[in-house]
Amino acid sequence: MPEKIKNYINGRWVGAASGKTFESRNPADAREVLGVVADSAAADVDAAVRAAKAAYPGWAATPAPKRGEILYRAAEALIRHKADLGAWVTREMGKVLPEALGDVQEAIDMTYYMAGEGRRLCGETVPSELPDKDAKSVRVPVGVFGLITPWNFPVAIPAWKITPALIAGNTVVLKPAEETPICAARLVKILCEAGLPAGVLNLVCGFGETAGEPLVCHPNVDAVSFTGSNAVGGRLSVLAAERHKHFAMEAGGKNPIIIMDDADLSLAVTGALWGAFGTAGQRCTAASRLIVHTAVYDRFVAQITERAGRLRLGNGLHSKTDVGPIVSEAQYHKVLDYIALGAREGARQILGGPHKKGACAHGYFIAPTLFLDVRPTMRIAREEIFGPVVCIFKARSLREAIDLANDSPFGLSAAIYTQNTHHAARAERDLNTGLVYINAATIGAEIQLPFGGTRRTGLGPREAGGRGGALDLYTQWKVIYRDFSGRLQKAQIGETP
As a whole number of angstroms, the distance between CA 334 and CA 40 comes to: 26
Whether residue 146 contacts residue 161, with contact meaning beta carbons closer than 8 Å, is answered with: no
CATH architecture observed for domain 255-438: 3-Layer(aba) Sandwich (3.40)
In the chain, pLDDT over 70 holds for what percent of residues? Answer: 99
Say whether pLDDT at 496 is over 60: no
Q: How many CB atoms sit inside 10 A of residue 482's CB? A: 10
Determine the average pLDDT of the residues in 364-391: 98
| Per-residue pLDDT reduced to its tens digit, 195-224 | 999 999 999 999 999 999 999 999 999 999
Residue 457: pLDDT band (50, 70, 90) is very high
| Per-residue pLDDT reduced to its tens digit, 97-156 | 999 999 999 999 999 999 999 999 999 999 999 999 999 999 999 999 999 999 999 999
Given this model, what pLDDT does residue 495 score?
62
Determine the average pLDDT of the residues in 228-245: 94
Whether residue 34 contacts residue 26, with contact meaning beta carbons closer than 8 Å, is answered with: yes
Determine the average pLDDT of the residues in 459-472: 89
Pick 143 or 468 by higher pLDDT: 143
Determine the average pLDDT of the residues in 337-349: 98
| Reduced 3-state DSSP string for the chain | CCEEECEEECCEEECCCCCCEEEEEECCEEEEEEEEEECCCHHHHHHHHHHHHHHHHHHHHCCHHHHHHHHHHHHHHHHHCHHHHHHHHHHHHCCCHHHHHHHHHHHHHHHHHHHHHHHCCCCEEEECCCCCEEEEEEEEECCEEEEECCCCCCCHHHHHHHHHHHHCCCEEEEECCCCCHHHHHHHHHHHHHCCCCCCCEEECCCCHHHHHHHHHHCCCCCEEEEECCHHHHHHHHHHHHHCCCEEEEECCCCEEEEECCCCCHHHHHHHHHHHHHHHHHCCCCCEEEEEEECCCHHHHHHHHHHHHHCCCECCCCCCCCCECCCCCHHHHHHHHHHHHHHHHHCCEEEEEEECCCHHHCCCCCEEEEEEECCCCCCHHHHCCCCCCEEEEEEECCHHHHHHHHHCCCEECEEEEECCCHHHHHHHHHHCCCCEEEECCCCCCCCCCCEECCEECCEECCCEECCCCCCHHHHEEEEEEEEECCCCCCCCCCCCCC
What backbone phi and psi angles, to 5 degrees, belong to 124?
Answer: -130, 145
Given this model, what pLDDT does residue 497 score?
57
Given this model, what pLDDT does residue 306 score?
98
Determine the average pLDDT of the residues in 375-396: 98
Q: Where are the domains positioned within the chain?
A: 3-251+457-481, 255-438
Whether residue 365 contacts residue 325, with contact meaning beta carbons closer than 8 Å, is answered with: yes
- Residue 11 to residues 7, 55, 235, 281, 382, Cα–Cα distance (Å): 10, 11, 31, 37, 45
CATH of domain 3-251+457-481: 3.40.605.10
Q: Which residues are catalytic?
A: 250, 284
**pTM, two decimal places:** 0.96
| Per-residue pLDDT reduced to its tens digit, 473-490 | 999 999 999 999 999 999
Say whether pLDDT at 357 is over 70: yes
Find the angle CA(388)-CA(159)-CA(452) to the nearest 5 degrees: 55
As a whole number of angstroms, the distance between CA 395 and CA 467 comes to: 36
Whether residue 118 contacts residue 67, with contact meaning beta carbons closer than 8 Å, is answered with: yes
As a whole number of angstroms, the distance between CA 410 and CA 433 comes to: 8
Determine the average pLDDT of the residues in 43-61: 98
Residue 80: pLDDT band (50, 70, 90) is very high
Given this model, what pLDDT does residue 257 score?
98
Find the angle CA(132)-CA(134)-CA(140) to the nearest 5 degrees: 155
